[in-house]
Structure 1
């Protein structure tokens, strides 16, 4: 049986990002959940205590997954956590008015498995407060785990285990779940998409379509609209070209 190339295997492409985690034990438990499913790329954004990766509670809860902790990185902001990624999925039980498209873990796993050029990040929030809206809005999709509507609370490690499990199942020959229609070109990086939104916002202000002092919800709505398309690099370049021409015309 042919093995997947190391650079295209989902086990080498998927990153788990934990944002402002409050308990060291939860970091260790997530590391354990990742390792049992074959994943190892873990990034922490501003954990709320010092020496998060070496904390005795984290090590104890990792229960044999110390190598995942040792290879993990701590960064100061969300943008750094996504360095090298071109697709991000926020995991939340709470749906948002301006969230990106809502997928199940199975749909996400199938999409990631089918698109070998994707370098995805799965993003989990603080245990108590979850993810802030501004982070959710910057992600391509929101993963909502189907659960008992009367008691849908999963702890951090359980949620990570569910997503990692679905990604592993999708990677097994003959069991991949079908995801949404994917890219035909190179998918745009999150940094490229953010740059496009900033450029587009500048152009909309220049033609008085957007009031910079009273923007209301226009940009979040545009983010939601474009997130449903799964932008490719060339498409981002086209949109930035339009914004550039608008700005050029208004300055004449």
Structure 2
């Protein structure tokens, strides 16, 4: 009899994504933080200097976590960085008017550990943080509840807080999938992005959305759907509705 495959733990499912990092030392420090807490998948999106992974400062700050750097991928887009990811969390000290739901690190870690989705923690540039277009496509915005009078954390410190909380949650063994809300297969970020594009086209055809004056309709819809933890079948249903709207409005796909 074939033995059932074990469910991957959060240590296997979590990806750390650094976007347009400016300091090589921060990349090395994040790799060190990850290895200390038992995580290993690191992806860089357009680092702002050449030779980011084997830069002298990266290696020095990694301090024994060079194996993490050696396995790190450097990509040119968020689409590549989030390939295969079902749940994306933007980490930012700055709250946004049309951000996805806001969570604290511990709450997020417990949710991720209880589920089975492949997840990504996304950290922005040291000076500018994450742009709104990246934050809006994520499922949640993670905000570290620091001292409001001085809430400044550098990139590596913020990453250390998040991976620590994820390690604690993973070790606690909180596996209640119902806490995450996934009953079927979780929809990937790419699938959800495709649904948004399809839905936007349908709303324009319907006359509900003015393409020349969209205001904040799509960010509000993204915020609403991000709370639903969409499954693949649910995304397919919504795209089917969008398809029928386009057909009924008289324009073939």
Fold-level match, TM-score > 0.5? Answer: yes
Runs in 1 of length 4+ with deviation above 4 angstroms? 174-181
1:147-184 superposed Cα distances (whole Å, 9 cap, x missing partner)? 10001111111111111011110111467899954212
The equivalent of 2:190 in structure 1 is: 191
Q: Is the Cα contact below 8 Å between 1:25 and 1:57 reproduced in 2? A: yes
- Is 1:247 the equivalent of 2:250? no
The equivalent of 2:137 in structure 1 is: 138
Q: SS of the counterpart of 1:44? A: strand
Q: Please give the alpha-carbon distance, in whole angstroms, between the structure 2 residues aligned to 1:10 and 1:219.
A: 31
Q: Please give the alpha-carbon distance, in whole angstroms, between the structure 2 residues aligned to 1:179 and 1:94.
A: 30
The equivalent of 2:105 in structure 1 is: 105
Could you state the TM-score of these two structures normalised by the residue count of structure 1? 0.94
TM-superposed deviation, 1:207: 1.0
The equivalent of 1:76 in structure 2 is: 76
Q: Is the Cα contact below 8 Å between 1:75 and 1:81 reproduced in 2? A: yes
Q: Is the Cα contact below 8 Å between 1:14 and 1:120 reproduced in 2? A: yes
Q: Please give the alpha-carbon distance, in whole angstroms, between the structure 2 residues aligned to 1:230 and 1:12.
A: 20
Could you state the TM-score of these two structures normalised by the residue count of structure 2? 0.94
- Is 1:218 the equivalent of 2:217? yes
1:57-72 matches, cutoff 5 A: 57-72=57-72
The equivalent of 1:19 in structure 2 is: 19
Which structure 2 residue ranges, 5 or more long, are not aligned?
none
Corresponding residue pairs, total: 247
Q: Which moved more, 1:178-187 or 1:153-162?
A: 178-187
Q: SS of the counterpart of 1:52? A: coil
Q: Is the Cα contact below 8 Å between 1:108 and 1:179 reproduced in 2? A: no
Q: Please give the alpha-carbon distance, in whole angstroms, between the structure 1 residues aligned to 2:70 and 2:99.
A: 33
